[in-house]
Structure 1
Amino acid sequence: MSVWVVSDGRRGIENQSLGLAEALAELAPATITRHIVRWKPAFDRWPSALKQPWMLAEGQDLLAGPDFPDIWIATGRATLPLSVRIKGASKGRTFVVQTQDPRWKNRAYDLIIAPKHDQVSGPNVLSILGSPHRITPDRLRAAAPQFADRIAPLPHPRVAVMIGGTSKAFDLTPEHAATLADVIADTVEEAGGSLLVTFSRRTPLIAQTLMMQRLKPVNGWIWDGAGDNPLFVMLDAADHILVTEDSANMATEAASTGKPVHILPMVPLKPQTKFARLHQELQDHGATRPFDGTLPHWTYEPLSETHRAARVILAKRANRS
């Protein structure tokens, strides 16, 4: 089975399709090929309805054939003009999966895998809690030896902290970043534990600098962005996970570990109906609680929505065949 993972190359976007593809490969033999979609600069911001394959950057024509994948899994706005055409180009051979809410030609895809909190509906829609991702217990365990020497001396409880940043919905102001860092530092020091900290590409530089300065005295490891991203290692080593509320991806990934996930508040820029639904769903599942400056322990069934979606893909493809 050949599976193409198609995205604009941004890590958080690509990981949704790649996570689904890897879950498929655990269920059935598969060859996974990654494709990054790039439109010529003059056409990049054009509406999907106006984009044509000849507008792609050189060497980007995924519809030219003659080889087409058995399953096409795409994420992001850049992929939509190709996703709606691949079935015709492959003469019906390719099973087309689009993640997130396309908001355009929703009937053109064999399956849309959308977050439940987006409230997308339709006969070809599978709603899942959160977003697809690459986090699995096996993958976390496999990553652990890479930084074992650095993790082993750190005292428990080990607290992984995943900091997001500015978006259309939230902000991380310098004042709020400083307050968050102080509360996190006090909590971990009082517990006699250690920190494992990562920042998003969206984290404002000033906010990141302030947080690093305030968290540096605490025992632990603050990743500075150099070298391989240690996120998998940190999640594997953590006893608790703190995640800012701005990222559905980070919250969902954390909830797949089965470890207590504490949600850190951000500065809202507008009413947060969708994010409120997501966080309520995660709380109802038992995975998350708002961070209150303490580190209580609780258990829950780790989320496995990516693998559930992969099983649905295989079943629907088999039924169509």
Structure 2
Amino acid sequence: MPDDTLHIPEGRPLTIWAVSDGRAGIENQVLGLAQAIERKTHAQIVTRHIRYRRLFDRWPTFLKLWPDRMLKRDSDPVGPPWPDIWIAAGRATLPHSLRMKAASQGKTLVVQLQDPRENLSAFDLVIAPQHDEVLGDNVLSILGAPHRITQDRLATEFKPWAERFKAFKGPFIAVLIGGKSKSHDLSAARAESMAADIRRAVMAAGATLLLTISRRTPAVARDILVNALKDLPGIIYTGEGDNPYFAFLHKADHILVTEDSINMAVEAAATGKPVHILSMDRRSALKSTRKFDAFHRTLQDYGAARPFNGELRSWSYTPLNETARAAEAVIARLKSRATSS
């Protein structure tokens, strides 16, 4: 139900800008938080994509002194009328986020997701992952990142797939494969071992396999997984046609997720179903790798996830709902400002 205690002076809906560079993983975070706020109060969400011309794209934030002049032609304009709430994530948004208080004359609540690595006082609220260890009076630490997963959305997204799923019987095992990143990789040897473990688990349970492979999955690893598992009953998605990701999450009895993706692990944990973490190759002892380890420890402590050891054990926990907690924090900040003004 909308929160009727939150009013806008003009009687209009809240305007929320969800700002990113348009990459799916980043955009889902800002949209997820915006939509969670929309579920709590009357609001209108506007998506904004900020993209810089190639010459300026890799410049550090402190050198982007005139960010409006550096944008690509296909970048969305950033100008008045300003929103009530600015929700942004990613390096590309920082030059504008840092200036938003001044540009809007303090009328816009400025919310930045992730660790901005900049002056925290420039933001009204920073919502950062616990494993980033960002500290400040205006910082909310959450487990993982905001996302767009809700039970209602999963049920809605499953409907177009319902007829196809009638050909299969449970239990259903969803396997979400990531790929190469700064901290992780998926070698041929690791893919072979992973495929063998998944195959044994599916066959032992007499289950149906729901496998999705990301664009980041190395081609060799993708081919190994597909060839090793394609004879099992189920659906394998490699990027062609409609994406069954949400249908998989809805139908799954168990969810296996590679350890390289915080977003996928948190989305899986939002279902309340057992989340099994698939280990990958470590590229180095990078700081980012240690942060992934810290995240997975916290997710295990919460009770949502366990390392995959080849067995499909079952357990229960309260579905992780950090996005709703973040939305409540944003609304509380907005109410506080309205009361003090």
Match of 1:303 among 316, 320, 327: 320
Deviation at 1:179, TM superposition (A): 1.2
TM-score, normalisation: structure 2: 0.92
Deviation at 1:206, TM superposition (A): 1.4
Deviation at 1:183, TM superposition (A): 1.1
Whether 2:197 is the aligned partner of 1:180: answer: no
Whether 2:45 is the aligned partner of 1:54: answer: no
Deviation at 1:74, TM superposition (A): 0.5
CA 1:91 to 1:62, structure 2 compared with 1: closer, same or farther past 3 Å?
Answer: farther
Comparing 219-228 and 164-173, the one that deviates more? 219-228
Deviation at 1:12, TM superposition (A): 0.5
**Residue identity opposite 1:308 in structure 2:** R
Structure-2 residue corresponding to 1:206: 220
Structure-2 residue corresponding to 1:291: 308
Structure-1 residue corresponding to 2:247: 233
Structure-2 residue corresponding to 1:105: 119
Deviation at 1:61, TM superposition (A): 6.3
Whether 2:53 is the aligned partner of 1:40: answer: yes
TM-score, normalisation: structure 1: 0.97
Deviation at 1:177, TM superposition (A): 0.9
Match of 1:64 among 66, 79, 94: 79
Equivalent pair of 2:214/2:239 in contact (CA under 8 Å): no
Deviation at 1:59, TM superposition (A): 6.0
Equivalent pair of 2:215/2:239 in contact (CA under 8 Å): no
Distance between the aligned counterparts of 2:203 and 2:75, measured in 1? 51
**What is the CA deviation profile of residues 262-282 of structure 1, one whole-angstrom value per residue up to 9, with x for unaligned ones?**
000001122332111111111
Distance between the aligned counterparts of 2:250 and 2:112, measured in 1? 29
Deviation at 1:230, TM superposition (A): 1.2
Mapping for residues 141-220 of structure 1, pairs under 5 Å = 141-220=155-234
Distance between the aligned counterparts of 1:37 and 1:228, measured in 2? 27
Structure-1 residue corresponding to 2:100: 86
Structure-1 residue corresponding to 2:90: 76
Aligned residues: CA RMSD: 1.1
Partner of 1:68, secondary structure, is coil
Distance between the aligned counterparts of 2:190 and 2:207, measured in 1? 23
Comparing 83-92 and 258-267, the one that deviates more? 83-92
Distance between the aligned counterparts of 2:148 and 2:171, measured in 1? 25
Equivalent pair of 2:258/2:279 in contact (CA under 8 Å): yes
**Residue identity opposite 1:253 in structure 2:** E
Distance between the aligned counterparts of 1:241 and 1:11, measured in 2? 21
Number of residues of Structure 1 aligned to a counterpart in Structure 2: 320
Gaps of 5+ in 1: none
Deviation at 1:224, TM superposition (A): 2.4
Structure-1 residue corresponding to 2:5: none
Structure-1 residue corresponding to 2:28: 15
Distance between the aligned counterparts of 2:166 and 2:125, measured in 1? 44
Identity across matched positions, percent: 52
Whether 2:331 is the aligned partner of 1:314: answer: yes
**Residue identity opposite 1:294 in structure 2:** E
**Residue identity opposite 1:38 in structure 2:** R
Gaps of 5+ in 2: 1-13
CA 1:171 to 1:148, structure 2 compared with 1: closer, same or farther past 3 Å?
Answer: same
Deviation at 1:58, TM superposition (A): 2.5
Distance between the aligned counterparts of 1:105 and 1:80, measured in 2? 11
Deviation at 1:225, TM superposition (A): 0.9
Match of 2:279 among 265, 268, 290: 265
Equivalent pair of 2:254/2:273 in contact (CA under 8 Å): yes
**What is the CA deviation profile of residues 39-84 of structure 1, one whole-angstrom value per residue up to 9, with x for unaligned ones?**
011101001111122111126464432x111101111000000111
Equivalent pair of 1:63/1:89 in contact (CA under 8 Å): no
**Residue identity opposite 1:146 in structure 2:** P
Extract structure 1 runs of 4+ deviating beyond 3 A: 59-63
**Residue identity opposite 1:58 in structure 2:** R
Structure-1 residue corresponding to 2:298: 281
CA 1:61 to 1:160, structure 2 compared with 1: closer, same or farther past 3 Å?
Answer: closer
**Residue identity opposite 1:54 in structure 2:** R
**Residue identity opposite 1:177 in structure 2:** A
